[in-house]
Structure formats: C-alpha cells, structure tokens
Amino acid sequence: MPDIVTSIEHLADLDLYKVEKPYNVVLSPDQWDASLPPRSNLKFERKDNIIVTDIRDQIDNYTLDTAGFNIANHTSNIPRLETKDDLLGYQNETEAFLTKWFEAERVVCWDVKLRENRTTLPSVFDMADWTIPQLPAQGAHNDVTFGSGPTQIVRHLPDELKPKYLAGGYRFRIVK
C-alpha cells in the first residue's frame, strides 16, 4: 500500500493546561444547567500533511524496545462482542494472549470498551454498561502519561496482587 497524506487532530498546547488539566465532564441531562462551569475545556488543533506509511511488510523492524510499539496478529475466538459475557470472554482472551506474547508472569486487562464509528451517542446512557458502544476517540492522544502510569497500575492492580508486584523487581507495561 502506498503512503497516504492525511491530517491529525490533537489536543492543543495551551497555556491554560499548565494551570488547569484538560477535562470533559459527562453528566445526565437532569444534572446540568447553564449556570455551571463549562463541561469541557478541550481545544484541538489540526496538523496537515502527515505522511502515514504502511509498515505491515516490515513488522519485524518494530519492537517495543526499539520503536515503543510492536505489531501482533491475533484473531479472536469471540465471534461477536454484544453482551457483557462476550466482553468478559474477550478480556480473558486478551489477557491470555498478552501473557504469552510478552512472556509475562501476570497480565491485568481493564477498561474494555466497544467503539463504533458514529458521531452521536444516545442522550442518556449508563456509562458503566460495557455493551454500549462509545464514539471513536477524538484526535491523536495518549491515555497514559509518565506521571499517570504508576497511578493507573495501583488503581487497577487487584489488591491481593499489590504486595507481590509493587514490592519491586517487576517491569510494568501498559498496553492500549
């Protein structure tokens, strides 16, 4: 496949974010009124003429240690992701795959989400319901930063595993 030229949107580098973290608040319609502060301070900017290269024929040249990512081919055994049981099965399958791929002692998968390529969500929905598809992520982004990584690990590592894995001697990888 030939290179393509495209555009990418990403969070703007605003002075505001030095004193106020970027945020987006999702509330039910009955919890919101116009006198409240804005629900979001997110501002995006667009970069044009970004070259995207198909690297599928070069996957051996990209490793986690040399490129910060790698490519793994895997076909799921879960035919459809429609119910919570489907998603839990996919989560378990993902943990098993990553355990083998990384030769890891332990993999903890959290934040399983369905995404659909559409522009709107229902006006009212249960954010805790894994089966409600979310919109595509907006713009290029990083879900975990150098500072937030340890916090994410402590938050999502099951309590019974914390004494062992947080005592030192283990390498953590957060995979999205």
This prediction has a pTM of 0.72
Q: What's the rounded Cα separation, in Å, for the pair 72 and 156?
A: 24
Q: Residue 53 CB: number of other CB atoms within 10 A? A: 10
Instruction: Report the run of H or E that residue 7 belongs to, with start and end.
Output: strand 4-11
Mean pLDDT of 68-76: 87
Rounded percentage of the chain residues whose pLDDT exceeds 90 = 34
Mean pLDDT of 32-48: 86
Give the residue with greater pLDDT, 83 vs 121.
Answer: 83
Checking if the pLDDT of 176 tops 70, the result is no
Q: Which pLDDT value is given to residue 94? A: 93
Question: In sequence order, which residues have a C-beta less than 8 Å from that of residue 133 and are 6 or more positions away?
Answer: 114, 115, 116, 118
Q: What's the rounded Cα separation, in Å, for the pair 48 and 125?
A: 35
Checking if the pLDDT of 104 tops 80, the result is yes
121 close to 135: Cβ distance less than 8 angstroms: yes
Q: Which pLDDT value is given to residue 43? A: 92
How distant, in Å, are the alpha carbons of 67, 83, 115, 125, 130 from that of 121?
Answer: 35, 18, 11, 8, 14
Q: Residue 130 CB: number of other CB atoms within 10 A? A: 19
Q: What's the rounded Cα separation, in Å, for the pair 76 and 98?
A: 13
Q: Which pLDDT value is given to residue 123? A: 66
